Structures are given as C-alpha cells and as structure tokens.
C-alpha cells in the first residue's frame, strides 16, 4: 500500500506548499493532521474540535480516504435578555483527502473520536481491492 507521506512533504516544501499556505482558510485549520507509522500501520490524528460523531463522514473512494465534517446551523435563540451581535459558530464544514491505495477496505480502517481528535488506524498490508465504502466511527 502506498500512503505517500513523502509526496505530501515534498509538495509542502516547494512552491506549491507556499501557495497552499497562502490560500489556507480558517476551515482548513480545523483539520490539522498528524501522520505517524509503526511496523504494521499508519495513524492519522485529525483535530476536529466541536464536532460529534454524527457530524463526521468517512469514505473510501477510488483509493482515497475522504474525511469530511459539517455542523449544521442552529436556529436556537440566545438566552433570555441577550441577542447575538456576531455569530461565528453557526456553520462549519471542512474536508481532507488522503491517498491510501485502492486495495484498502472500510473494514481495514479503525476510527475513534475522543476529545475532539479523530484517530484513524490504517494497516500497511492489505489483501483485496474493492470500490467505494463507508467507515463507521466507534465511541
């Protein structure tokens, strides 16, 4: 399986990385990701503060792992005697895509959400290819 962390680092170190850094948005800052590995698997730790399990969608499609999160706007009114002057927390959405190889199955990926950090564990050795699948997040 090719996870391609070197390609990501190479792109980030060159002119493309400078361009992407200049184009960064506040939504992109929500999904800061640490990627590590050991002898058997890769681990992605993705910051998603304020998002619950139901807000996060994980999908495998054509060799890519797509992580997206969206909070819907709340129509709740402020507490009695208060009114909003500015609302910055109403709607948030963000998405990241990682190439993980076409042989990865949804059952191969372990996902856990704890304290605003989504941890994905992806094995290095995969057996059979498959199409599009969805991944469930455990408590």
69: exposed, middle or buried (C-beta count within 10 Å: 0-12, 13-18, 19+)? buried
The separation between CA 111 and the C-alpha centre of its own chain, rounded to angstroms, equals 11
Is the pLDDT at 27 greater than 50? The verdict is no
Give pLDDT tens digits for 42-97.
999 999 988 899 999 999 999 999 999 998 766 566 677 788 787 776 667 899 99
Q: What pLDDT, on a 0 to 100 scale, did the predictor assign at position 77?
A: 66
Of 5-9, 92-96, 97-101, 121-125, the poorest mean pLDDT is in 5-9
Q: What pLDDT, on a 0 to 100 scale, did the predictor assign at position 137?
A: 85
The sign one gets for the Cα dihedral 112, 73, 25, 135 is: positive
65 or 125: which leads in pLDDT? 65
Q: What pLDDT, on a 0 to 100 scale, did the predictor assign at position 33?
A: 95
* Spatial strand order in the sheet of 56-61: 92-99, 64-71, 56-61, 133-135
| Cα 98 from Cα 34, distance rounded (Å) | 12
pTM over 0.85: no
Q: What pLDDT, on a 0 to 100 scale, did the predictor assign at position 90?
A: 65
8 or 116: which leads in pLDDT? 116
For strands 110-114 and 117-123, give the pairing.
antiparallel
């Amino acid at each position: 399986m090719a996870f391609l962390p070197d390609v990501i680092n190479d792109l980030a170190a060159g002119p493309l990385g400078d361009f992407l850094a200049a184009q960064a948005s506040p939504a992109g800052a929500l999904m800061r990701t640490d990627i590590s590995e050991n002898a058997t698997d890769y681990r992605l730790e993705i910051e998603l503060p304020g998002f619950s399990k139901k807000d996060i969608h994980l999908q495998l499609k054509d060799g890519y792992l797509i992580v997206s999160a969206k909070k819907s706007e709340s129509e709740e009114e402020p507490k009695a005697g208060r009114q909003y002057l500015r609302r910055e927390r109403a709607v948030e959405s963000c998405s990241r895509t990682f190439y993980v190889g076409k042989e990865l199955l949804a059952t191969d990926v372990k996902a856990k959400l704890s304290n605003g950090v989504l941890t994905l564990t992806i094995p290095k050795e995969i057996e059979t290819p498959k199409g599009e699948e969805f991944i469930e997040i455990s408590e």
